[in-house]
Amino acid sequence: MDLLNTLVDKGLRREAPTRDEALAVLATSDDELLDVVAAAGKVRRHWFGRRVKLNYLVNLKSGLCPEDCSYCSQRLGADTGILKYTWLKPQEASEAAAAGLAGGAKRVCLVASGRGPTDRDIDRVSDTVKAIKEQNEDVEVCACLGLLSEGQAERLRGAGVDAYNHNLNTSESTYGAITKTHTYADRVDTVRKAHAAGLSACSGLIAGMGETDADLVDVVFSLRALDADSVPVNFLIPFEGTPLAKEWNLTPQRCLRILAMVRFVCPDVEVRIAGGRELHLRTLQPLALHLANSIFLGDYLTSEGQAGKADLEMIADAGFEVETTEQVTLPEHRRGGGCGSVCGSDAAEACGTEAGAAQAAGAAGTDGTAAGPGTDGTASRPDADGAASGPGAAAAETAVPGARTDLVAVRRRGPGTDLAPNA
């Protein structure tokens, strides 16, 4: 296909596709899907080989958020049944991080719900970073704390934070439809503050909120323009108790096309599969590794993810390898920012997250990322005995066609509980 040959050539040259070419990727048919994956895979392997970076989320403060992000399980007034707790102590957060690092994670994404940190919150996070790095000198730390005020990014950088996650989530033209308590411009401003302070910028999107192909292309081109080192791609988890609970718009094939489009537009940055991969990609998750070079390990902020052991087996079975602390994530020409030659990568994710994670693994709810105004962490799975848990399970009978509410499981282990984390 001429389109794919053109996109591969441009990706190898770090040249952006045209907007029409990006839209054409999203418009390809299921019959063409493997060709699309193969083409985008060439670009991914050129810049990142077969390495997969593992990121681990630590939810420092869950729920209790004053923001109204429609996708987020931690939004103001949401009745989603998630864990709610205030700030973890530094040692508690360090112990949670250690579980992820023992499971193979290279980056820890520290996420806290809320509009943005106070100066006291920056002190708390600084103490937490110190505790983590005292035990794990080589770990990368990404913070995802919401909207930043003047000077806060510099303080985080001075405390040893390597990256900052804050997702754009959707296009500027539709942002006001999902959030009223802050603006798209607020988010852009925070990403720029992080960049200016020398932090590696992590910023991504949430797909599946009812957006158009044009919206998806718009936000990805905006992320390219912001020069984010890491782009977490979250797939909406429609939590019961949120305004988007009935938005089940994604198929595994659609998710793969979205990831391919992101790779073509952002060929040499860390593309991370963040919240929702288990729910929407399902058995096609291994194919997505040919497009993205980064994932979250284990659970997300407010939802349960695939078992950490299963993540590692999936990577190995698909012919990929876990990136080590000795390996630098980003290509040489992109190094020297906040992470320099040591980390050169994304951010929460979450840092997506919220970070991401989850629906929003980063910034206000995504890394993977991750959190920020209205953070949320969604990626899900049934309990070990196969029975679904969480608010989504009860609504399975009224689910829209194609909805897999049986896979949505609220996190009940790890930080904020007495149970061991999943890593």
Whether 72 is catalytic: yes
Is 415 in contact with 59 (CB distance < 8 Å)? yes
| Token output for 347 | 């951010």
Whether 343 is catalytic: no
Binding-site residues for [2Fe-2S] cluster sit at 109, 142, 202, 272
Listed in sequence order, the residues at least 6 apart from 415 whose beta carbon sits closer than 8 Å to its beta carbon are 58, 59, 60, 62, 85, 88, 92, 93, 96, 421
Helix axes 213-226, 252-265, angle to 10 degrees: 30
- Count Cα neighbours of 394 within 13 Å in the Cβ-side half-sphere: 8
Question: Which residue among the candidates 44, 115, 257, 272 is catalytic per the annotation?
Answer: 272
Is 309 in contact with 280 (CB distance < 8 Å)? no
Rounded-to-integer distance, Cα 6 and Cα 17, Å: 8
Is 370 in contact with 234 (CB distance < 8 Å)? no
Question: Which residue among the candidates 115, 124, 142, 254 is catalytic per the annotation?
Answer: 142
Whether 202 is catalytic: yes
Whether 351 is catalytic: no
Binding-site residues sit at 65, 69, 72, 109, 142, 202, 272
Strands 51-61 and 107-112: parallel
Question: Which residue among the candidates 51, 65, 277, 343 is catalytic per the annotation?
Answer: 65
Q: What is the DSSP string of 318-343?
A: TT-EEPPTTS-SS-GGG-SSSSTTT-
3-state secondary structure of 35: helix
Is 265 in contact with 227 (CB distance < 8 Å)? no
Question: Which residue among the candidates 144, 202, 339, 351 is catalytic per the annotation?
Answer: 202
Binding-site residues for [4Fe-4S] cluster sit at 65, 69, 72
Rounded-to-integer distance, Cα 165 and Cα 146, Å: 8
Whether 144 is catalytic: no
Whether 272 is catalytic: yes
Question: Which residue among the candidates 69, 255, 339, 351 is catalytic per the annotation?
Answer: 69
Whether 69 is catalytic: yes
Helix axes 2-12, 19-26, angle to 10 degrees: 120
**Residue 23: its H or E element:** helix 19-26
Q: Work out the number of other CB atoms within 10 angstroms of the CB of residue 53.
A: 26
| Token output for 70 | 């429609």
In 3D space, the residue among 70, 387, 350, 314 whose CA is nearest the CA of residue 408 turns out to be: 387
**Residues catalogued as catalytic:** 65, 69, 72, 109, 142, 202, 272
